Chains A and B, each alone.
Chain A
Amino acid sequence: MSSPSDMNATNVGELAAEQAAHQKNGDPHVSDVDLKPAFFDWLCRMGDTTLILGHRVSEWCGHGPALEEDIAQANIALDLIGHTQMWLGLAAEVEGAGRSADNLAYLRDAMRFRNLLLVELPKGNMAVTIMRQFLFDAWHHDYLARLTKSSSPRVAEIAAKALKEVTYHLERSSDLVVRLGDGTDISHGKMQEALELLWPYTGEMFVTDDIDRAIAEAGIAPAVEDLHAQWTQTVTDILQEATLTLPKGTAFAQKGGRTGRHTEHLGFILAEMQFLQRAYPGASW
Chain B
Amino acid sequence: MTRTLPSITDVWDWLAEVPDPEIPVISVTDLGIVRDVSYDGATLVVAITPTYSGCPAMAVIDLDIETHLAAKGVDSLRLERRLSPPWTTDWITDAAREKLRAYGIAPPIDGTGGSDVMAARAARLSGTSNLSVACPRCHSTSTERVSQFGSTPCKAAYRCTDCLEPFDYFKCI
Contact = CB atoms under 8 A, between A and B. Distances in A.
Chains A and B form a bound pair: yes
Interface of A: 68-69, 71-72, 75-76, 78-83, 85-86, 138, 141, 153, 156-158, 160-162, 164-165, 167-168, 170-172, 174-175, 178, 234, 237-238, 241
B86 interface: yes
A72 B171 CA distance: 14
B24 to A, nearest CB: 21
B148 interface: yes
29 contacts: A68-B146, A68-B147, A71-B147, A71-B151, A75-B150, A78-B54, A78-B55, A78-B56, A79-B52, A80-B54, A85-B54, A141-B116, A157-B84, A160-B84, A160-B86, A161-B53, A162-B53, A164-B113, A165-B173, A167-B115, A168-B114, A171-B115, A171-B117, A172-B149, A174-B120, A234-B118, A237-B121, A238-B121, A241-B125
Interface in B44-91: 50, 52-56, 83-86, 88
B86 A161 contact: yes
Contacts of B116: 141, 167, 170
A170 B117 contact: yes
Contacts of B28: none
B160 interface: no
A159 to B, nearest CB: 10
By secondary structure, the B interface counts as: loop
A128 B86 CA distance: 32
Given A72-B148, A160-B86, A172-B148, A165 B52 contact: yes
B124 interface: yes
A175 B115 CA distance: 11
Interface of B: 50, 52-56, 83-86, 88, 113-118, 120-121, 124-125, 146-153, 157, 171, 173
Contacts of A82: 50, 52-55
A79 B54 contact: yes
B153 A75 contact: yes
Most buried by A among B88, B120, B146: B120
B104 to A, nearest CB: 18
B148 A158 contact: no
Given A68-B157, A71-B147, A82-B50, 18 more contacts: A68-B146, A68-B147, A71-B151, A72-B147, A75-B153, A76-B149, A78-B52, A81-B54, A141-B116, A157-B84, A160-B85, A160-B86, A161-B83, A161-B86, A164-B114, A167-B114, A170-B116, A238-B117
A13 to B, nearest CB: 19
Given A160-B84, A165-B173, A83 B54 contact: yes
Contacts of A175: 120, 124
B144 to A, nearest CB: 12
B114 to A, nearest CB: 3
Contacts of A71: 147, 149-151, 157
A181 to B, nearest CB: 13
Given A72-B147, A78-B153, A157-B84, A167 B53 contact: no
* 4 tightest A-B CB contacts, nearest first: A82-B54, A82-B53, A167-B114, A72-B149
Contact of B148 (A157, A164, A168, A241): A168
A263 to B, nearest CB: 26
A73 to B, nearest CB: 8
Contacts of A241: 121, 125
Contact of B86 (A79, A138, A157, A168): A157
A167 B113 contact: yes
A234 B117 contact: yes
Contacts of B84: 153, 156-157, 160-161
A161 B52 CA distance: 8
A141 B54 CA distance: 17
A164 B86 contact: yes
B130 to A, nearest CB: 12
B53 A79 contact: yes
A164 B149 contact: no
